[in-house]
Structure 1
């Protein structure tokens, strides 16, 4: 079997640092081998030229704005919930282009988020959710492009960046 490709949506550096710092603070160190990320597709085959072509085409657009709309407690972790109609439309378009290779998880409606804590007890996650929610105010972030990663059974290796057009 060929190696696995992951597709993420990249965010502006200031927000990348912010969410990565939160992961460093709240994610268990033994399991935190990734920077903050917004996963769009979890499992595509590497080496398919049609996937690269579709990503190149999809990046020929202005950056997508995301609303960081809330904080979600999902059992053993905490994530920031993202909202964007633009992103949903982009994701559906990519789902159509990637249809022959999609696993069940990647066929579902996108629920974009940035995980800042995972693999902890439900109690610990609930405490963090309550703490982060106390003074949370929704805010917008800009994205910079799409990126592919090779899955290395734990860590990810950056492959290729597909930058959005900046005007």
Structure 2
């Protein structure tokens, strides 16, 4: 829809095998009635929908770079959920460049330091989250997963509408 003002979301896209693994974990551990989304790595939570052409163009420019790996570095307790922490200097630099371009539109949340992660459980009792974190941590080994590009989505009040994918060049 032209002129749609609903918020835009920007994500880092992971290669298919890693995405499928995180999706399986999310399907298994996220309360089904609240699980409207595939697993994702949110970079920006709420850019203005009316700026879609400018956001899309910025993502296309940012994606004109080689793919890179992101380290899955550990597990993070979210209070009422569990996430896998991610770490990458290249991702931090990419995010900083986009944040500079999007600066006039950034919300307070999107101005915070990037803490990339993939949430596989949320909206559960804290004890349930602690148990899952401990169980997943027991067999965890840090490893790298390839990032394949940037995704643009429109927030629909729960679900997200996919708008564009910008694969990394190379």
Q: TM-score range by the shorter chain?
A: over 0.9
Cα distance, 1:47 vs structure 2: 3.7
Superposition deviation, residue 54 in structure 1: 1.0
The answer on 1:23 being equivalent to 2:36 is: no
How far, CA to CA, are the matches of 2:30 and 2:167 in structure 1? 29
Aligned residues: 166
Shift of 1:3: 1.0
Contact map agreement 2:70 2:86 (CA 8 A) in 1: yes
The answer on 1:35 being equivalent to 2:38 is yes
Superposition pairs of residues 119-134 of structure 1, within 5 angstroms: 119-134=123-138
Residues 83-124 of structure 1 show CA distances to partners (whole Å, capped at 9, x for unaligned) of 001100100100000001000110111000000000000000
The answer to whether structure 1 residue 73 and structure 2 residue 82 are counterparts is: no
Q: TM-score, normalised by structure 2?
A: 0.95
**Residue from 143, 161, 167 that aligns with 1:157:** 161
**Structure 1 unaligned regions, length at least 5:** none
Report the alpha carbon displacement of residue 51 of structure 1 after superposing the two structures with TM.
1.5
Alignment match, 1:113: 117
Partner Cα separation in structure 1 for residue 77 and residue 54 of structure 2 = 37
Report the CA distance between 1:24 and its aligned residue: 0.4
Whether the 8 Å contact between 2:74 and 2:86 is mirrored in structure 1 is yes
What residue in structure 1 maps to residue 106 of structure 2? 102
Q: CA RMSD in A?
A: 0.9
Q: Separation in 2 of the partners of 1:91 and 1:30?
A: 32
Which consecutive segments of 4 or more residues in structure 1 shift more than 3 A? none
- 2:108 corresponds to 1:142: no
- Structure 1 length normalisation: TM-score? 0.97
User: Is 2:61 the counterpart of 1:46?
Assistant: no
Unpaired runs of at least 5, structure 2: none
CA contact (8 A) 2:12 2:40 kept: yes
